[in-house]
Amino acid sequence: MTLQIATANRLTDGIVVYLGYDGEWTRHIDEARVAEREDDIADLLIEAKAAAAVVGAYLIDAEIHLSEESSRTIRPQSYRERIRAFGPSIHPAFAKKMVPEHFDPRTDVSAVFMNGI
Amino acid sequence: MYKYDEFDETFVSERVAQFREQVARRLSGDLSEDEFRPLRLMNGLYLQLHAYMLRVAIPYGMLSSAQMRKLAEVARTYDRGYAHFTTRQNIQFNWPKLEDTPDILEELASVEMHAIQTSGNCIRNVTADQYAGVDPEEIDDSRVWSELIRQWSSLHPEFTFLPRKFKIAVTGSPHDRTAVKFHDIGLIIKRGPDGEIGFEVLVGGGLGRTPMIGRTVRDFLPKQYLLSYLEAILRVYNQLGRRDNKYKARIKILVHETGIDALRDMVEAEWASVKEEGVDLPDAEVDRVRSYFSDPEYLTLPDHDHTFQVKQFEDPTFGRWVRANLAPHKVPGYVIANISLKPIGGAPGDATSAQMTAIADLADKYSLGEMRVAHEQNLVFADVKKSDAYALWKQLNEIQLGTPNLGLISDIIACPGLDYCSLANARSIPVAQRLQRRFADIKRQFDIGALTLNISGCINACGHHHAGHIGILGVDRRGEEYYQLTLGGSADENASIGKIVGPAFSGAEIVDAVELVVETYLKLRNSGEKFIETYRQLGETPFKNALFGEKQNAAA
């Protein structure tokens, strides 16, 4: 079974959010509550759908990455969800993290146009 | 330019107040999202990938400097300092907050703008020729008729819930700049047998998953019957359009399934009765609307301007800008100046609030305080004195908008794609940027010549990929972004639909593939032949062979 997290857009401003362990919605994907067992996944979806503070809640497949310096990071499996989580890929100023390698904004995309003036 | 009368003004401000109430009820939880969604969409507010998106109507692309300044202020105050001009002459804000939207709409209403009918299954913002009123070849001003259509279609009670969205374009020139044949209804202004003005009426054009070229439903409609005839078409469509299937609900499918001759009979029969209902306007009302678009007081100038000529030699980049971006004006001593919103490596159609403010100032200084948005996602100053052109260009360069690439390969049409859009399958803008970089050399671009390159991030085709000489369609293939190439499309009066060539390319391959197509054209073209002419002459085979190899191509 793949790992699942719940995501939605925040009602007030449409910003992408994830359901955290404390029942609050967070902008930080790494704080998302991860469900693996079938029961937990079902509960996660029910709770996400019931929330009034967000719009259009749904579950996505995710992977947990463990690294030495930080405890763990979460990466959505689909590139659409990675762009949702970390993008847009074209404005480094608004992107939170990097997106798939063939469009790496550090090398491929002008950082000048939007920031320059 | 058209000015709101008291009815327009009252209506728009009442609508803002109404939406303010609706937003408050949504935020308090009194309205569910299912209840609220149609209300917000009626006011142009979408929910996209990262945030809400507000699409603001720019009727037939006309903007005053005061409106542009206000749009810049909205971008600065309520958004993230930039906005996006669309392929339907509108503007989109990518990051507005729901709670701020009523304030934004109130700000817009103060300069006679709104977001009504920029979404939903209604008659959308009418588009027109960006050279309207100043093109020397023009038969009649498309803005006059567009404004009349705007008034007739705004909140038309019968056409608020059509089977699907409905787009109308009007062109008044023999050379079409509006993609008129790719609209639900295309209106081509022409002269009748006695020199009187009227319309060729096309119906059933469109892009999207089933691209079709509009068919002529009436070869010549005398101008006084425009509204009754439109009403007749819309009535037939409203009754017979496929409401059972979203993908078959556009009028193009009705035309295709019914046949243009049968549809014409139905429209004409309907028109016979509509004509008697008093829908058509008296001449006095048409004249009143026309008076808003009457010529400004042009100066009497010599057509030859010494500085204008000399500067083109002294400064070759200016010379290129003159050749690519300027067009002839009907009044001697004036030119039409196109401002490319496609700087190399920029996001096509995007402008920062600083750029927008500067453009408004330049419009005041050099183009009588007005400008237009082109469906190619560029801006137009319609009334620039030749003697001012160099100064204008210098100042455009200061805000990075002096790129001399209009109509060249880096003047790419691109939808927002998966960077913003929740419908997209793949990104468009980064592909556009990489292509612009690959073809950044302006001399090479001029050598390649007139070429339209259009990119859509999904089959809905907001980036008009089928209508590009070279088109790119983003697809999702097993969880990866892939790009399908189409060749041979054209959006002008000789409209054609691009054909898919071979299997899709990965994101890493697509730029090389486009370059190979261009190199193949350069090798094969006869002297002076444009890309589309070479393609039409030789067909797809040499391009397919170059892309996929002769053997594989023959085997396939």
Arithmetic mean of pLDDT, B426-440: 93
CA distance B372 to chain A (A): 23
A23 touches chain B (CB under 8 A): no
CB B373 within 8 A of CB B63: yes
CATH 3.30.413.10 positions along chain B are 134-291, 413-555
CB B408 within 8 A of CB B451: yes
Rounded to an integer, what distance in angstroms lies between the CA atom of residue B79 and that of residue B381? 26
Superfamily of domain B134-291: Sulfite Reductase Hemoprotein, domain 1 (3.30.413.10)
Q: Supply the DSSP symbol for A31.
A: G
ipTM of the complex: 0.91
Question: Which pLDDT does position B110 carry in this prediction?
Answer: 97
Question: Which pLDDT does position A100 carry in this prediction?
Answer: 39
Torsion angles phi and psi, residue A28, rounded to 5: -100, 115
A92 touches chain B (CB under 8 A): no
pLDDT band at A82 (very low <50, low <70, confident <90, very high): confident
B270 touches chain A (CB under 8 A): no
Report, at the CATH architecture level, how domain B6-109 is classified: Alpha-Beta Complex (3.90)
Of the options 3.90.480.20, 3.40.640.10, 3.30.930.10, 3.40.190.10, the CATH number for the domain spanning B306-398: 3.90.480.20
The pLDDT tens digits of the residues spanning B223-247 come to 999 999 999 999 999 999 999 999 9
The pLDDT tens digits of the residues spanning B453-483 come to 999 999 999 999 999 999 999 999 988 899 9
Top residue of A2, A7, A11 to mutate, by most chain B CBs within 10 Å, is A11
Query: Does residue A103 register a pLDDT over 60?
Result: no
Arithmetic mean of pLDDT, B152-175: 96
- The separation between CA B506 and the C-alpha centre of its own chain, rounded to angstroms, equals 28
Domain ranges of chain A: 3-78, 87-117
pLDDT band at B533 (very low <50, low <70, confident <90, very high): very high
Put simply, the answer to whether B419 touches A103 (Cβ < 8 Å) is no
pLDDT band at A68 (very low <50, low <70, confident <90, very high): low
Question: Which pLDDT does position B472 carry in this prediction?
Answer: 98
CA distance B191 to chain A (A): 46
Give the CA dihedral A72, A54, B347, B84, nearest 10 degrees: -170
Give B291: exposed, middle or buried? Use CB within 10 Å, 0-12, 13-18, 19+: exposed
Give the nearest partner residue to A88 out of B50, B352, B400, using CB atoms: B50
Rounded to an integer, what distance in angstroms lies between the CA atom of residue B476 and that of residue A79? 10
- Report how many Cβ contacts below 8 Å link chain A to chain B: 99
Give the nearest partner residue to A117 out of B400, B506, B507, using CB atoms: B400
Put simply, the answer to whether A12 touches B400 (Cβ < 8 Å) is no
A11 touches chain B (CB under 8 A): yes
A115 touches chain B (CB under 8 A): no
- The separation between CA A5 and the C-alpha centre of its own chain, rounded to angstroms, equals 9
Arithmetic mean of pLDDT, A50-67: 92
A114 touches chain B (CB under 8 A): yes
Question: Which pLDDT does position A91 carry in this prediction?
Answer: 67
A89 touches chain B (CB under 8 A): yes
Copy the structure tokens of residue B458. 């999904």
CA distance A19 to chain B (A): 16
Asked whether the CA dihedral A91, A93, A94, A98 is positive or negative, the reply is positive
The domain made up of B413-555 is a member of CATH 3.30.413.10? yes
Put simply, the answer to whether A89 touches B506 (Cβ < 8 Å) is no
Q: Contacts of residue B347 in chain A, CB cutoff 8 Å? A: 90-91, 113-114
Percentages helix, strand, coil for chain A (3-state, rounded to 5) are 30, 30, 40
CA distance B428 to chain A (A): 10
B99 touches chain A (CB under 8 A): yes
Query: Does residue B446 register a pLDDT over 90?
Result: yes
**pLDDT higher for A108 or B84?**
B84
Strand partners, B535: none
Query: Does residue B409 register a pLDDT over 90?
Result: yes
**pLDDT higher for B26 or A27?**
B26
Arithmetic mean of pLDDT, B55-80: 96
